[in-house]
């Protein structure tokens, strides 16, 4: 059994890690780390775990945890993982960080967008960007995996095949995305109160959202072109889900069959990417509670543009599910172990 430690186990992503790993046949959680609930029973924090998880929450002592765990998940705010990372920890255990601390290779870009000094830049080069469908081979041998963000997972996977094949003009890419409120975390914030969110939709982080450079960097690698995007996220009154609608100019004349063949080339053997039938648009309700990404596209010959669409559950494929998928790859397990989750409906 893989011994697993979770720091930040009582946040939304951490709670989702617990839910997934509790049903994982090859993993055992040995540390439920939570600075806010030390010595409180985990099931008293999340009542859905009553008579399933009997353990108490522990602190966030990574040094002590490294002696107990084969892998540590850090579902923590930006800056925490980088502030405690050292060679002594990495020499004893593997790390999967769900924050942005090791996602961006240029430390100056990270510091600009996140407004903080990076505390362990020496590990950025080693960290593998854990987008499983793209970097699977690098993940297999990694000690440190940077688990991608939720908006970025959906946005990158939706556009990746066309960027890789040089079909779209990367200077024209626009990403319009919507997210449920769990993407903002479990902390108490006035903008996330029911009366503030219900019966409302709003844009936020306009021209300034932190996931922008992450999307740009990864699509630059894919396309070989310096990619600068317009990215606008929106908050919608639902618990889970991300829908990304992306627009780009076509660099050549293509038919539906041409584009479908490109998506099939990259995703036909991917368990968790579903390229939908012609004319079917992705919807968040059909991926909720699962690790699936639903993708489709529409060519608009009138404007010489292509509209690409993707939907994920932000807490599963956008966070905890992808983290477990990375763990499975790192330890040579079946990639879908613990992730055979049929989407919930209604």
One digit per residue, the tens of pLDDT, for the chain of length 346 reads 999 999 999 999 999 999 999 999 999 999 999 999 999 999 999 999 999 999 999 999 999 999 999 999 999 999 999 999 999 999 999 999 999 999 999 999 999 999 999 999 999 999 999 999 999 999 999 999 999 999 999 999 999 999 999 999 999 999 999 999 999 888 878 988 999 999 999 999 999 999 999 999 999 999 999 999 999 999 999 999 999 999 999 999 999 999 999 999 999 999 999 999 999 999 999 999 999 999 999 999 999 999 999 999 999 999 999 999 999 999 999 999 999 999 999 9
**The domain defined by 151-314 carries CATH number 3.30.360.10:** yes
Residues 6+ apart with CB under 8 A from 217: 104, 105, 106, 109
CA dihedral 136, 138, 142, 144 (to 10 degrees): -80
Answer yes or no: 150 catalytic.
yes
State the pairing for strand pair 144-146/242-249. Answer: unpaired
CA distance 246 to 309: 6
CB 89 within 8 A of CB 99: no
Residue 229 tokens read as 């995007």
* Predicted structure pTM score: 0.97
Which residue intervals of 253-332 are DSSP H helices?
A: 256-267, 321-330
- By C-alpha distance, which of 247, 242, 236, 221 is closest to 318? 242
> In the numeric block, which tokens belong to residue 94?
């593997």
Q: Does the bond joining 346 to the residue before it have cis omega, within 30 degrees of 0?
A: yes
Instruction: Please compute Rg for the chain using Cα positions.
Output: 20
Q: Is CATH 3.30.9.10 the right assignment for the domain spanning 2-126?
A: no
What pLDDT score was predicted for residue 66?
97
* Residue 147 Cα to chain centre, angstroms: 6
Which pLDDT belongs to residue 186?
Answer: 86
| pLDDT value for 152 | 98
The DSSP H or E segment spanning 285 is none
Give me the pLDDT at residue 191, please.
86
State both tokens at 312.
């994920």
- pLDDT given for residue 189 in this prediction: 86
pLDDT of 268 reads 97
Structure confidence at residue 187 (pLDDT): 82
Note the pLDDT of residue 173.
98
Calpha distance 66→50 (Å, rounded)? 27
CA proximity to 123, closest of 160, 185, 74, 164: 74
Distance CA 342, CA 122 (A): 40
Catalytic annotation, pick one of 150, 154, 195, 281? 150
* Distance in angstroms (rounded) separating the CA atoms of residues 184 and 192: 8
d(CA 86, CA 299): 48
- 56 strand-pairing partners: 41
> Nearest 5°: CA angle at 321, between 182 and 94?
115
- Per-residue pLDDT at 188: 78
Domain locations along the chain: 2-126, 151-314
Q: Which two tokens stand for residue 168?
A: 């779209």
Q: CA quadruple 205, 304, 228, 142: dihedral positive or negative?
A: positive
């Amino acid at each position: 059994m893989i011994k697993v430690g979770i720091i930040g186990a009582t946040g939304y992503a951490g709670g989702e890690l617990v839910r997934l790993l509790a049903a994982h046949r090859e993993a055992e959680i040995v540390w439920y780390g939570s600075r806010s609930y030390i010595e409180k029973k985990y099931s008293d924090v999340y009542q859905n775990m009553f008579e399933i998880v009997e353990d108490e929450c522990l602190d966030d002592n990574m040094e002590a945890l490294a002696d107990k765990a084969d892998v540590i998940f850090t579902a923590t705010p930006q800056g925490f993982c980088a502030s405690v990372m050292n060679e002594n920890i990495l020499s004893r255990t593997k790390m999967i960080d769900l924050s942005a601390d090791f996602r961006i290779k240029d430390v100056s870009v990270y510091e600009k967008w996140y407004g903080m000094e990076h505390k362990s830049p020496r590990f950025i080069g080693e960290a593998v960007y854990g987008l499983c469908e793209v970097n699977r081979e690098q993940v297999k041998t990694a000690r440190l995996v940077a688990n991608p963000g939720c908006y970025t997972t959906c946005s990158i996977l939706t556009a990746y095949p066309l960027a890789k094949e040089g079909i779209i003009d990367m200077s024209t890419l626009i990403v319009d995305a919507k997210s449920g409120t769990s993407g903002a975390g479990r902390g108490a914030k006035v903008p996330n109160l029911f009366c503030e969110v219900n019966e409302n939709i709003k844009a936020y982080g306009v021209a300034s959202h932190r996931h922008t450079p992450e999307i740009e960097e990864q699509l630059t690698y894919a396309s070989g072109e310096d990619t600068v995007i317009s990215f606008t996220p929106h908050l919608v009154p639902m618990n889970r889900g991300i829908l990304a609608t992306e627009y780009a100019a076509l660099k050549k004349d293509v038919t539906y069959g041409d584009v479908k063949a490109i998506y099939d080339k990259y995703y036909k053997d991917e368990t968790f990417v579903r390229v939908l039938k012609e004319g079917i648009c992705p919807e968040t309700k059909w991926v909720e509670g699962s690790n699936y990404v639903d993708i489709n596209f529409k060519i608009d010959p009138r404007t010489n543009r292509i509209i690409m669409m993707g939907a994920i559950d932000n807490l599963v494929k956008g966070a905890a599910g992808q983290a477990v998928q990375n763990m499975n790859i790192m330890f040579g397990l079946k990639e879908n172990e613990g992730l055979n989750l049929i989407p919930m409906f209604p």
